[in-house]
Structure 1
Amino acid sequence: MLPGTKSGFELDARLESNSVSVLWLGLCELRLIDDSRWLRLLLIPQRSGVEELHDLTPLDQAMLTFEISLVSKALKQVAQCDTVNMSIACNAVRQLHVEMVARSQGDAGWPDPVWDDEPRKPRDRKSLRPLLDKLRAAM
């Protein structure tokens, strides 16, 4: 079990394979989606069997809202973006996760949604560590 992992929790293999861990928060693990086209983050509540927002306890729902706000502010600071788009969609991956993406007017996909619009373009490994450090520092 990884540090911070909640007992009985198992990260979906699809989420794990296309992202890297940034840090652990009180409820969620924060992960960076490995796609150089967009600065996209995942917040994944560390609760076993949770597929929908309403599956969380009221206390966990409040904690998730707090962590969304915290991460959104950090993402906006690091990306220097105009806005942060968020999505909670658990269709393909039946594990509750919040996806956040930094968006700016004039970016390659503006103003359209960018959720899974094309095959990912993995990040250059040399640029990954500094980005993770910036995200951690902003938190």
Structure 2
Amino acid sequence: MFELAKELQRDCILMAEWPLCTVLLMNDSQYPWFILVPRVAGAKEVIDLPEPQQIQFWQESAKLSRLLQDTFMPDKLNVAALGNMVPQLHVHHIARFKTDIAWPKPVWGLFSAKPYEDKEIAKIKANFV
């Protein structure tokens, strides 16, 4: 039975439910930072998914990447699956800008999160309808 990791529940906002994945927004307004989580119990790595789900996952990752490019027009997209702190399979999709506070360093752990305001969340969520 699939259950979203407690850390992701705590730190993220639900944006959408796609055929395979849950799309989350990290609640840190300093970066457009999204997380794609396949709803597959026990999956820690993409290779843990059966091949048809791997294909579906990469299609959804590409869809999210295109959505971030079209919506935010970043200088660079960072797409990464780390899992050192949260072993559940999840892949970060972060729109990065040369003007963001962490550029060119990774976003992890440099600055405290600045939560989104409700109106900002609603505006971003409208892109997922």
Q: TM-score category by the smaller chain?
A: over 0.9
Q: Distance in 2 between matches of 1:126 and 1:76?
A: 21
* Pairing 1:113–2:112 present: no
TM-score, reference length from structure 2: 0.93
Match of 1:80 among 60, 73, 83: 73
Give the C-alpha shift of residue 42 in structure 1: 0.5
Aligned to 1:136: 128
Q: Distance in 1 between matches of 2:48 and 2:109?
A: 25
Aligned residues: 129
User: Structure 1: any 5+ residue segments left out of the alignment?
Assistant: 1-7
Gap change, CA 1:11 and 1:74, over 3 Å in 2: same
TM-score, reference length from structure 1: 0.87
Q: Distance in 2 between matches of 1:12 and 1:122?
A: 20
* Pairing 1:95–2:100 present: no
- Root mean square deviation of aligned Cα: 1.2
Aligned identity (percent) is 29
Q: Distance in 1 between matches of 2:51 and 2:123?
A: 36
Give CA-to-partner distance per residue, 1:7-63, whole Å, 9 cap, x none: x11001100111111111111000111101111000000000111121111111111
* Pairing 1:57–2:59 present: no
Moved over 3 A (4+): none
